[in-house]
Each structure stands twice: as C-alpha cells, then as structure tokens.
Structure 1
C-alpha cells in the first residue's frame, strides 16, 4: 500500500503544472458564478464559461485569451446589436435573414483572424436571446458584454493569484523535453549509418520533434508577452529557442544522410568515431536538459569537442588513403553532408552552451548569491 501511494504521489508530482491548472480552472468557475449572482447578471452561465476559457496554462496565455475574447465579444455585441436595432425584423423569415447577415461577415473576419472567433457567437446570442426572454437587442448586447467582462476579469485574476504559472518556467520544461527528443533522434539517426533507417521510422521521429518545436515556440511567445508587461523576469527566450530550432535542422540533415548506410569499408573505419560522437553529444544534450529543468547545474562539452576532433581526424585519414575517391556520387554526397551537418551541430551546441549558462547558474554561483 505504501509503495502504491508513493507511485501515485510521484505521478501526481510529475504533473504538478497540470494539477495547478485544474485548481485554477475550478476556482475561476466558482468565483465567476458567485460574482455574477451577486451582481444579478441575467445569465451567470456566460460569466462562468468565459472564466474557464481565459484561465490558461500560463499567465501569458491567459492574457492573450482574455484580450482576444474581450475584443471578439465587444465587436460581436456591437455588430449584432446594431443590425438588430437598425434593421426591422419580425417573424422567423426575417430573423433567419438577419442571422445570415450577422454570421457571414463575422465568420469571414474570424477566418482571417482566429483570435476573433467569439465575435460570431456573441452576435448570434445578441440576436436570438431577446426572442427567448422578451427583451430588446440593446439590453441583450449590454448583458452579454457585462457577463463576459466579469468572467474574463475573474479568470485573469485567478491566473495571477491562485498557483500562478509563468511561461518562463514552462520554457525550461518544454526545452528540456525537446532536447531529450533531439538527443534520442540523433542517436537513432547516426546509428542508421551502419544499419540503415526506413523512411517510416525517420518520419515518425521527425514528426514528434516537430510537434514539440511548435509547442516550445508558442510558449516562447507567451513568455515574451509576460516579460514585456513586467510580469516575469529571466533571460531572453529568443536565443535559446533559435538554438534549439537550429539543432532540430541539424538532426533533419543528419537524418537525410542516414537513410542509406555508408559503404562497408568506410563503416569499419568510422564505426568507433561515430559511436563516440553519438555518445558524447547525447550525453551532453541530456545533461543540458536535466540542468535546464532543474534551473541549476552544469554540462561539460569537452567530450563533444574531443569526439568530433577524433572523427575529423579519421575522415582526414580516409581521404588520405584515397577511400573517398572511389565512392559513388550519392554515397559521397551523403558522406560530405554528414561531415557538414556534424560541424554545424558543433557550432550550435556551442551556442547551446552559452544559452545554458544564461538560463542555469552553476551551483557555485548560486551559493555565492545565497551568501
């Protein structure tokens, strides 16, 4: 029983960010309902739903969701209320025509700017709600804006006050996860030079990395939004994100060179140097990932430099022995593409070392700061 409880605690601890979001959403919905009822709003439901929508994983994302939802709601309420007041309508036929007039332009605008999706919904509510409650369109528009305002402000306040989560801390986690994915992909792809790699496996590896890169870029935008509003501090996210993106490109290039194994005689000469390069780079990237996640620690890049120098020396020996001249054109292209990609990766790992130094103070530095 104790072991089971420990496993459950460890699993929940690994999902503390998601648990904090669940708590914030629950608090946001309850608070929005209580405030809406206290203010005697006509439909507290919309205040609650809005609060759930704007309560996001990070403060930066909540700010964007609040801004977009409020702009869409106000725009939809003004447009829906205006056509309802200015265009006389009675009966279902005229109401249907008015609905078309309300939906088509707003849906077109939302297709151009998805952040205004709520405008179409708001305009429809403003038009249809008076027919259900025997009220006028102007009152419906005002009620809708008030309900959404209460929900949006409540959700935003809860995002700041209840277990707040900053996008900067999420960048550490997302960047660490992506570096681990890249290191695993790099090891797999480099091994393909001696045993080959099928296209399905290659696409599967790259697709997973692509999704992780997209998520990291989105989190970076949220972090910069927080920084611009002085809601969080920390290093500039741009250099770290750009460096990881370049490392992803390196992995893609190495993957293209690894689809077909190298000729057997070259494999025999490069097997050990490539294995050392793979182990050194994978170990370094995992060390950086662990350090980023913890926010402290160091990672030694010296083994990477040594392994790449040994590989370059063996390549030079191969060329001196004339083994490259006899290669078919496609094999020669893959061989030189591999060397170029590894050199580019070395430069980008050097940039990663610099970014790591900005994001993670060493233990000695932190001890000095604490003293």
Structure 2
C-alpha cells in the first residue's frame, strides 16, 4: 500500500512548485471574485482576470507583474478617459477615429516598453464600455482602475500567504539545472576532440543551455527584487549568476576547439588526461547541482585540480617533444585554445566553489553546531 501511494504521489511531489502555483492562482481568482462582488464592482471579470495575471511563480515575479499591470492600467485609463471626455464623438465613425487615436500612441509606447501592454487594452475598454453599459467615460475609467486594483492586490496578497514561493529557492533549482546541462555538453565536446563535431552536433549540444541561462537571469532579478523589499534573505545572486555564465562561455570556447579532431599522435598522448579531466569536471558540476538543490552539502574540487594539473603536465611534455611544430596553423590554434579554455574553466570552477559555499550549508559543520 505504501509503495502504491508513493508511486501515485511522487509525480505530484516532483512538480510541487507548479502545483503550488496552480493552487495560488485558483485562490486568487476565487478571492478576487468574492471581493469584487462584495464591493459591487461593475465587472468582477476584470478583477478575476487581473488576479490571475499577477499571481506568478514567485513573489518577486508577482511584484513585478503587479507593478507593471497597475502602471499600464492607470496610464491607459487616464489617457482613454481624457480623450473620451475632451474630444466630442457620436456615431460609429467618430468612435472608430477615437479608437485609432487611443490605440496607436499606446501601442507604440508598449512596443518600446512591453511592461505597459495593459495600457492599450485599458484605453480601449474605457472607450467602448460606455457604449455597452450606457455610462460616461469618466465612470468607466474609474471602474476599470478599481477592478484592476482589487484583482492586483488580491493576487499579490495570495502570493504572499498561500504556499508562497521565493525566487531564492528557485535560483537553486535553475542553477542546478543549468550546471547539469553544461556538464553534459562539456563531456560531449571533449569527446569530440577525438572524433570531431559538425555544426549540427554543436548546435544540438548547446540546445537548451541558452534558455536555461535566460531563466536563471530572470529568476535572479526576481530574487533581488524580493531582497530589495526585505521579503527574502540569503546570499547575493550576482556572483552565482556571473560564475555560471562564465562557465557557459568556457563550454562555448571548448566547442569551437572541438570542431575538428586533434592529430592522431596528440590524441594518443592526451586521451587519458582528457578523459580524467572530463570525468572530474562532470562529477564536480553534477555534485554541485545536487547539493544546490538540497541547500546542504560540500563538494571537493581537489580531483578537478589534480586532473587539470596532469593534463597541463602532458601538454608541456608534448610541446617539449616538438609535436606542435609541424602542425598546421589551425590545428595549433585549436590545441592552444583548448588549453586556455580549460585554464579559464579551472578559475571559474574555483569561483563556483566559493559561491557554492555561500549557498549551501556544510553537513558536517551543521551537525557540529547541532551537537
């Protein structure tokens, strides 16, 4: 019975962040509708829709969505109400002209600043709603602002109170995912030094990494937004984000060096050192990813240093034996570029260790404090 229950609930537990978001959205919609009805707002629909829009994956993202939606709504209501009151119009022809006057400038502003997209929609509603409900434009603008305010505040409060999700915890997850993608790409690229990789293979290896970097940077901005208003604590996100970004650049540089296999005699000399480097770095990055998710644990970087030191010694021996002198220029450039990239990666992995220490608690140290 326990096994059956575990099999049933494990998939939901693995998606607990998404499930919590669904519960928050449902709570926001229901609460916004109840409040809108209690205050006798003209269209509770807009309060409900606004609450759904501003309830986001993290509190930091909800803050940004609320700010952007409120600014756009207030600006659109003021502009739409102003032109409706100041410019006389009657009949469909004049209303169409007024719609053009409302949409064009606001749509242009939204194209420059997408966070103000709601301004265009609000202005259109302020202009058209009086023709449906026989109200004046000023009342329509006020109603729209009140409905959106109720929805936005409801969604924001629900984001704080119902299964709240902080961006700081999501940074751990997103950074861990990106490190796993980078480690897998790194292993494939080093293997390509013996067989070569075409452009399609290089693009396939890099698939998903760019999206993961974008998601991590967005989550970092949300976390800093939470820190700015004292909604969450923890280490600064900048060092971790910059370090992971530099590791991504290292992987890109290694990809450029692995487009063509190394000469056979150099391959034979570097096969074992490169295999050790690949195993050590992949093991280190995946271990960091695991402990980042858990928020606890230490990872030893010594195997990485040892493997890279052995690789450097073999490279020095290859140069001493004169195997580089007869190489074509492009092959020699790839050889030196690989060494430079691995050295840069060593430095960035050392920085990653320092960031990891700020984000994760050492289990042994934690146990000693408890004891």
What TM-score, normalized to structure 1? 0.98
State how far apart, in whole Å, the 1-side matches of 2:204 and 2:95 are: 51
- Deviations for 1:130-151, whole angstroms, at most 9, x for unmatched residues? 0000000000000000000000
Q: Secondary structure at the match of 1:270?
A: helix
State how far apart, in whole Å, the 2-side matches of 1:157 and 1:366 are: 34
User: Per the alignment, do residues 8 and 258 of structure 1 end up closer, same or farther by CA in structure 2, a change over 3 Å counting?
Assistant: farther
The corresponding residue for 2:256 is 256
State how far apart, in whole Å, the 1-side matches of 2:78 and 2:317 are: 75
State how far apart, in whole Å, the 1-side matches of 2:2 and 2:351 are: 45
* Number of residue pairs aligned between Structure 1 and Structure 2: 371
State how far apart, in whole Å, the 2-side matches of 1:258 and 1:4 are: 48
State how far apart, in whole Å, the 2-side matches of 1:255 and 1:122 are: 49
- Deviations for 1:87-136, whole angstroms, at most 9, x for unmatched residues? 00000000000000000000000011100000000000000000000000
Q: Secondary structure at the match of 1:205?
A: helix
RMSD across aligned positions (CA):
1.0
State how far apart, in whole Å, the 2-side matches of 1:369 and 1:244 are: 31
The corresponding residue for 1:325 is 325
CA positional deviation for 1:2 = 6.4
The corresponding residue for 2:145 is 145
| Residue 52 (structure 1) aligned with residue 52 (structure 2) | yes
Q: Secondary structure at the match of 2:207?
A: helix
| Residue 287 (structure 1) aligned with residue 287 (structure 2) | yes
CA positional deviation for 1:206 = 1.7
CA positional deviation for 1:84 = 0.3
The corresponding residue for 1:38 is 38
Runs of 5+ unmatched residues, structure 2: none
CA positional deviation for 1:370 = 3.7
The corresponding residue for 2:366 is 366
- Deviations for 1:267-314, whole angstroms, at most 9, x for unmatched residues? 011000000000000000011000100000011100000000100011
CA positional deviation for 1:208 = 1.1
The corresponding residue for 1:235 is 235
Q: Secondary structure at the match of 2:326?
A: coil
CA positional deviation for 1:5 = 4.3
Task: Please identify runs of 4+ aligned residues in structure 1 that moved more than 6 A.
Answer: none
State how far apart, in whole Å, the 1-side matches of 2:319 and 2:7 are: 55
Residue pair 2:173, 2:292 contacting (<8 A) in 1 also: yes
The corresponding residue for 2:21 is 21
The corresponding residue for 1:214 is 214
State how far apart, in whole Å, the 1-side matches of 2:197 and 2:16 are: 37
